[in-house]
Structure 1
Amino acid sequence: MVAKMIGKNIASTYAKLEKLTMLAKKRTLFDDRPQEIQELTYIIKGDLNALNQHIARLQEISKDQRRTVSGKHLVSHSSNMVLALQSKLASMSTDFKQILEVRTENLKHQKSRRDQFGQAPVSISSVSPATAKQGSLLLSEENQEVSIDMSSANDTSPLLGGGSTSQRIQTQQQLAIYDESDNYVQQRAETMQNIESTIVELGGIFQQLAHMVKEQEEIVERIDTNIQDAELNIEAAHGEILKYFQSVSKNRWLMIKIFGVLIFFFIFFIVFMT
């Protein structure tokens, strides 16, 4: 039952992995779905951890069977089943790691294209310190500032140090673009950190799998040694059976000879005594 459940979960995780592969390989900014990719990454990571725990539990069950069950065929089948599930999990974990690496490369590619063809004409260094500090005030009072009479365009602004309304609006737009770009960079940085931490966790899964595979390898080697010993014992038993058969055959011929001699004397006595 445990192996059947693990098989179903592996098939389900493979389907999610294929969907993540399709999303992660998209390199365009307009077709990118970071939220969906992040959710799938989190779900698949949890599935891999759960599968690893289930396979470890199945391995413990297999060990208990080796101690209690005498049938070597059943023990060998159980060990082979655990090895097959471990192999599938290792292959799936490797694919997941490769997909995350592809996603990382695509994020770097998107960042370079955004830096190259970005719409922000100026950097934050082109905005005065006073404007940067009071950017939120400018954004909150945008409607009031736009409605100022044009006759007061020559008056000095307490916020911009003498700039006109059009200059204030342009500065507000620049600050909004900078905030949007800064949020984008921050989101991409968090995504990269999540991918790196996921790859590190996958390394832990690989280590656990390597340990379990090593244990299974030792078990298979012991089973193979037992099978070889059994073959030697069977050959020795076959030799003993042949020796016994030859001995019985010789005894049979001896009994036939003795029986023939007895018949001969019996006939002799009957013929000559009568």
Structure 2
Amino acid sequence: MVVERDRSNELYDLFSRMRQRQPQPATTTAVAPGLHSSSDVQTFNRFAKEFSTNIATVSEYIMRLTQLTNQQSVFDDQTAEVSELTQIVKTSLQRLHNDAGTLEELKRRAMTSQKNTAPTSTGHLRTAEKHSDTVVETLRSRLARTGQQFRTTLQHQSKSLKDKANRRHMFTTADRPQTFESALFQDQEQHQQQQQLLAGTGNIQYYQQRADAVMEIEAAVQEVGELFNDFTRLVQEQEEVVLRIDTDVGDAVRHVNAGSNELMRYLTNLSSNRGLILKVFAMLFFFLMFFGLIVVR
């Protein structure tokens, strides 16, 4: 006989220890070559670092929320803490969504300031711009994954609440035993009816609380869905920008190839003209030599 054992808590504890051991990734806070002097660039780097830290904090909240959702049972109600964490994560995601637009604006300011003030080469500017785009895209991807994780947790929480409510209903509304029509059991039946009436009142309050919690979770899922729609729109805009950049790069490559062909053609013409000039001078030289020999004789 196989005995099942829920070891989810051990897995989450292992993940927590591994997260504490691992250092913070440097991809979101590293400074690209040439990004040293401008205050706008420093502001962008500092804001990107804070943005990354906030995403990590929200991820920890979501992990804690998932643990509470898995630990809840009919006899261990942690609705208050779950609701508080849900509200915190929802507010944090909304703030991060707004900060994503601010991060994009800071990136544009940093690049404009870098082009206007820094005496760097074109290659360094392109490297800095590519680095900034990579930072923004990485942070947006992390934010989207965090939102998807929160949405999955909310859906699991809603399903768990409904299942627990059904189990509680099964435990508290079991069929009563048949009573005999006799005076001996009339008092007992009346007492059971009173107890069931009191239990029914408590169940109604419990179900009302469960229904309110489910409605809050569904509202949170809907808000997270709206955030995902905004994320999709932003990603689509970034894709259009990348396509335009790719098109411009392709046009530039074609222009470079055309210029190279024209230069080769001009070089060929110069080579052919040089040969013609040498031939003319050779003919003049032989003519002068021939004419000089005739005059001397």
TM-score, length basis structure 2: 0.62
CA shift, 1:171, in A, is 7.8
SS in 1 for 2:74: coil
CA shift, 1:224, in A, is 1.0
- Give the alignment of 1:45-56 within 5 angstroms: 45-56=90-101
Q: Does 1:233 align with 2:255?
A: yes
Number of residue pairs matched by the alignment: 230
| Paired residue type of 1:25 | N
CA shift, 1:119, in A, is 7.7
For residue 82 of structure 2, what is the aligned residue in structure 1?
37
Work out whether residues 144 and 231 of structure 2, in 8 Å CA contact, stay in contact via their aligned partners in 1: yes
* CA deviation string 1:16-62 (max 9, x = no partner): 11221222234632344222211111111011101100111222344
Give the Cα–Cα distance (whole angstroms) in 1 for the partners of residues 173 and 74 of structure 2.
14
| Paired residue type of 2:220 | T
For residue 78 of structure 1, what is the aligned residue in structure 2?
132
| Paired residue type of 2:163 | H
For residue 108 of structure 1, what is the aligned residue in structure 2?
162
For residue 25 of structure 1, what is the aligned residue in structure 2?
70
Q: Structure 1 residues 5, 245: CA separation in 2 closer, same or farther (over 3 Å shift)?
A: farther
Of residues 252, 257, 265, the one that matches 1:243 is 265
Q: Does 1:10 align with 2:55?
A: yes
CA shift, 1:104, in A, is 0.9
Of residues 169, 183, 189, the one that matches 2:205 is 183
- Shifted more, 47-56 versus 1-10: the winner is 1-10
Give the Cα–Cα distance (whole angstroms) in 1 for the partners of residues 170 and 254 of structure 2.
74
- Give the alignment of 1:93-172 within 5 angstroms: 93-118=147-172
Of residues 238, 241, 249, the one that matches 1:219 is 241
Q: Structure 1 residues 260, 195: CA separation in 2 closer, same or farther (over 3 Å shift)?
A: same
Give the Cα–Cα distance (whole angstroms) in 1 for the partners of residues 111 and 244 of structure 2.
12
Q: Structure 1 residues 6, 261: CA separation in 2 closer, same or farther (over 3 Å shift)?
A: farther
* CA deviation string 1:51-106 (max 9, x = no partner): 10011122234455677758555444434433332222222212211111111111
- Shifted more, 48-57 versus 259-268: the winner is 259-268
Work out whether residues 120 and 177 of structure 1, in 8 Å CA contact, stay in contact via their aligned partners in 2: no
Unaligned runs of 5+ in 1: 123-162
Give the Cα–Cα distance (whole angstroms) in 2 for the partners of residues 116 and 206 of structure 1.
38
SS in 2 for 1:30: coil
Give the Cα–Cα distance (whole angstroms) in 2 for the partners of residues 32 and 258 of structure 1.
105
Give the Cα–Cα distance (whole angstroms) in 1 for the partners of residues 273 and 135 of structure 2.
52
Work out whether residues 72 and 78 of structure 2, in 8 Å CA contact, stay in contact via their aligned partners in 1: no
SS in 1 for 2:241: helix
Of residues 186, 204, 213, the one that matches 2:226 is 204
SS in 2 for 1:25: helix
Unaligned runs of 5+ in 2: 1-44, 116-121, 177-186
Work out whether residues 24 and 37 of structure 1, in 8 Å CA contact, stay in contact via their aligned partners in 2: yes
Identity of aligned residues (%): 34
- Shifted more, 28-37 versus 215-224: the winner is 28-37
CA shift, 1:15, in A, is 1.6
CA shift, 1:203, in A, is 1.9
- Shifted more, 250-259 versus 216-225: the winner is 250-259
Give the Cα–Cα distance (whole angstroms) in 2 for the partners of residues 8 and 260 of structure 1.
80
- Shifted more, 187-196 versus 27-36: the winner is 27-36
Give the Cα–Cα distance (whole angstroms) in 2 for the partners of residues 208 and 63 of structure 1.
20
- Give the alignment of 1:54-69 within 5 angstroms: 54-63=99-108, 69=115
TM-score, length basis structure 1: 0.67
